[in-house]
Every structure is written in structure tokens, then in C-alpha cells.
Structure 1
Amino acid sequence: MNKDQVKGVAKDIAGKVQEEAGKLAGNKEQQVKGLGKQISGKAEKSYGDAKEILKDANKIS
């Protein structure tokens, strides 16, 4: 795992927590911010995944 994958997963989890906290508090703004963090985290993890694939492909060549 590279740093982008780790940071992405952490953002995704933090976003889920923030979204749920917003739901419990009835705060739509926090829910939306949580969803935004989840999207950002998933994108960052995907970027990290792609970097790992490229790194592995270069090892094979």
C-alpha cells in the first residue's frame, strides 16, 4: 500500500463518521461534508491503486 491508498481510506472512513454524526444531529451540512470526504477519499485511494498497478507492471517488464 502506498500513502495515497492509506490517506484515501482514512478520508473515506472519516467521511462516513462525519456523515453519520450529521444524521444523528440532524445537521444536513455535516452530512454533505461527510459525503464529500468519502468521495475525495475514494478518488485518492483509486489514484493510489493505479500507482500500485503501474509500479507492479514496471516490475514485470
Structure 2
Amino acid sequence: MSHRELLMVEMKRINLPNMILELRTERLLRISRLRQVLTLVIHVKVFRLFQLCTFGDKQCELFVK
């Protein structure tokens, strides 16, 4: 192995944990973003449900059952 190849191997070994860490944080960010979107969707559904209930809509009774 030449000096350059050794250097490349060393660089990869140093870089690998960083790359793994970046992937992990990216995945975590994506998960938290998904969670935020889901929470928003749930809030909107609940809000609509309350709107239906306050207007005394018959659909509300169907939702509750």
C-alpha cells in the first residue's frame, strides 16, 4: 500500500463515525418533523370535531360513538 492509500484509509476511518452521526441526526430530524406534521393533523381533526360539536351537527354523534 502506498502512502497515499494509507492516508485515504485513515481519512475514511476518521470520517466514518462523523458520517454515521450525521445520518443519525438527519434521521432524528426527519422523525421529529414527521411527528410535528402528525400532531398538526391530529389537532386539526380534533378542532374540526369540536367545531362540529359546537354547531350541534349530527356527524358529531357518529364520531363520538
TM-score range relative to shorter protein:
0.5 to 0.7
Corresponding residue pairs, total: 37
Q: Does 1:36 align with 2:24?
A: no
- Structure 2 unaligned blocks of 5 or more: 1-7, 47-65
What is the distance in 2 between the residues matched to 1:55 and 1:38?
26
Q: Does 1:50 align with 2:35?
A: yes
Percent sequence identity over aligned pairs: 0
Describe the SS at the equivalent of 1:54.
helix
Read off the aligned partner of 2:21 and give its amino acid letter. Answer: G
Taking only aligned residues, the RMSD between alpha carbons, in angstroms, comes to 0.9
Return structure 1 stretches of 4+ with deviation > 6 angstroms: none
TM-score calculated relative to the size of structure 2? 0.53
What is the distance in 2 between the residues matched to 1:29 and 1:48?
30
Larger radius of gyration, structure 1 or 2?
A: 2
User: Whose relative contact order is higher, 1 or 2, with alpha carbons under 8 Å and at least 6 apart?
Assistant: 1
